[in-house]
């Protein structure tokens, strides 16, 4: 689990937004960034590096593509000043009306959350 993930870069974020990365890879990037690790020996998820609120609600990392509640929690975790980073930093114009499907909008939320983390860590 979670091997060979792409680096957290603006190119990776564009690959998320453009659908160039598999849903599983996008989920794994978020899981890794949240602090989830998978122990091959015990075949269990480790949450000691995960924020307590996340670990309590999601002892195993959620599939953000399929879970609206998990994506809502991710949205709420983005500081207000970082909510528009996709637009202001990446110049992302959003999706057209015919593209407004849960899978794409959740991928955009995941990309925005990752971009917010990149800003907090001084990566952008």
pLDDT digit string, tens, across residues 14-68: 999 999 999 999 999 999 999 999 999 999 999 999 999 999 999 999 999 999 9
| CATH code at position 64 | 1.10.418.90
In this prediction, residues 87-116 reach a mean pLDDT of 90
Does residue 4 lie within any of the structural domains?
no
Specify the pLDDT at position 11.
95
Maximum CA pair distance of the chain? 46
How many percent of the chain have pLDDT more than 70? Answer: 98
Q: Which domain holds residue 46?
A: 10-118
In a domain, 5, yes or no: no
Within a domain: residue 30?
yes
Per the domain annotation, does 106 fall within a domain? yes
Number of domains in the chain: 1
Angstrom CA distances, 20 to 14, 82, 104, stand at 8, 24, 12
Tell me if 69 is assigned to some domain: yes
pTM: 0.91
With beta carbons less than 8 A apart as the criterion, state whether 30 and 67 touch.
no
Q: Is residue 2 part of a domain?
A: no
Residue 105: CA atoms inside 13 Å, Cβ hemisphere, count?
12
Question: Are the beta carbons of 108 and 14 closer than 8 angstroms?
Answer: no
């Amino acid at each position: 689990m979670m091997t060979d993930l792409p680096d957290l870069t603006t190119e990776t974020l564009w690959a998320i937004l453009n659908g160039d990365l598999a849903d599983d890879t996008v989920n794994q990037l978020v899981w890794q960034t949240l602090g989830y690790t998978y122990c091959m020996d015990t075949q269990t998820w480790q949450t000691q590096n995960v924020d307590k609120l996340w670990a309590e609600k999601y002892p195993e990392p959620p599939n953000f593509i399929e879970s609206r509640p998990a994506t809502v929690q991710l949205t709420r975790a983005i500081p207000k000043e970082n909510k528009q980073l996709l637009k202001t930093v990446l110049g992302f114009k959003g999706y057209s009306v015919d593209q407004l499907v849960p899978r794409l909008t959740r991928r955009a939320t995941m990309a925005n959350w990752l971009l917010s983390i990149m800003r907090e860590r001084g990566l952008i």
